[in-house]
Amino acid sequence: MQLLHGATPTATCTTGEREEALEALSEAISLAQEAVVRLDADIARGRLSYGVRSALERNFNPADQTGAVTLGLAAQVRPILAAARTDMLRTSQLRCGPDPTCTGDCTTKHVGAFTILIPGAEVHVCPAFLPAATIAP
């Protein structure tokens, strides 16, 4: 992870939390990149593949509206995912520990991590996201 993220500062993170958070950040960047690539291919082809359609239905059509998942929706989602990927690449600091924004646990809907309003500033990692073994007592 050090080669990938260099000296990304981690305020209030133990070594284990830092490693877990950086690994998760890397996976999120990879997922966003893969999504952008697949969306680009489908948009260029002029039709949605099964995988892209399914992902859009699960994540961007919560009301299950008939006809809502289209190339137009794909074109709207693509720049959001590209911006998220870029923002994650610019992360300047990880912050671990309790925060009022952190809610729930990993078995229910929860906030696992979030950023503040300034792109590339901080990623706050919530305790419920990290395996218990990595969290300091």
19-35, pLDDT tens digit by residue? 777 887 788 888 889 99
- From 93, 73, 118, select the one nearest 22 (Cα to Cα): 93
Per-residue confidence (pLDDT) for residue 134, from 0 to 100: 44
Write out pLDDT tens, residues 37-82: 999 999 999 999 999 999 999 888 878 888 999 999 999 999 988 9
**Could you give the C-alpha distances from 96 to 59, 113, 135, in angstroms and in order?**
27, 9, 9
pLDDT band at 118 (very low <50, low <70, confident <90, very high): low
What confidence category does residue 111 fall into, taking pLDDT thresholds of 50, 70 and 90? very low
The residue extents of the domains of the chain are 2-131
Pick the more confident residue, 82 or 124.
82
Quote the pLDDT of residue 119: 56
Residue (of 62, 135, 64) closest to 96 by Cα position: 135
